[in-house]
Structure 1
């Protein structure tokens, strides 16, 4: 991810993946041997000043990335949950129980029923959890 400060300063170069990873700009060996403008204008004091400036903006960059990540996670969660229809039951309602694969009747093949029994809700345990009993009034574990 690129970290772009809220305000672009004209003296700051565009962030690159290398500079975000290692904290410095890359200089290729050809530039060193040919004494390019970047190498010619290099001074140790200026480098230290730029490093301090980068350290000062590091926390702002992290906060920006955290905000982006939280926004992305909210969008993914909304997209995932948008088709879910919440349904609540009350005591006395009749419900079916979805059959899971490990207790599926293998002899029936693909025509086996996806639901089993008819159960009665006796009480609400907590949000989304219920106590059930069979129609013969035997409670389910």
Structure 2
């Protein structure tokens, strides 16, 4: 009870029933597992929707050996970017597909580029 309710009882203090209160607490304790299960289900649905939303942008681009591609400058040299700078550099040739979405590239003169490149940082050139 609040100190002010001691002197003049409030509606809450007048209508308080200890037995009903105890029974309500017991009912809540019995239903707590069900409430937790519902909360876990809601969290799983939320995680799935969030995963779907963010995976829309990360579709794996599939390139074949020999395809000509451009490489994102931000991925290759993040210090050389700017508002008026070109966004893509190349062309490069796909030398090898290491696994879906990961590629080894060649310069047009045949020299190999040392790193592997993710498909999100590449863009196909159509000729």
TM-based fold match above 0.5 = yes
Listed as ranges, the gaps of 5+ residues in structure 1 are: 1-26
Q: What TM-score, normalized by structure 2, do the two folds share?
A: 0.65
1:126 aligns with 2:99: yes
Q: Is the 8 A contact 2:66 2:94 kept in 1?
A: yes
Aligned twin of 2:79: 103
1:138 aligns with 2:114: no
Judging changes above 3 Å, is the alpha-carbon distance between structure 1 residues 80 and 96 closer, same or farther for their aligned structure 2 residues? same
Query: Which piece of structure 1 moves more, 56-65 or 73-82?
Result: 73-82
> Which structure 2 residues correspond to residues 7-22 of structure 1 after superposition, within 5 A?
none
Greater share of strand residues, 1 or 2?
A: 2
In the alignment, the residues of structure 1 paired with residue 100 and residue 26 of structure 2 have an alpha-carbon distance, to the nearest angstrom, of 52
In the alignment, the residues of structure 2 paired with residue 56 and residue 87 of structure 1 have an alpha-carbon distance, to the nearest angstrom, of 51
TM-superposed CA distance for 1:84, in Å, is 5.8
1:58 aligns with 2:36: no
Aligned length: 108
Judging changes above 3 Å, is the alpha-carbon distance between structure 1 residues 83 and 114 closer, same or farther for their aligned structure 2 residues? same
Cα-Cα RMSD = 3.0
Please state whether the residue corresponding to 1:53 is helix, strand or coil: helix
TM-superposed CA distance for 1:83, in Å, is 5.8
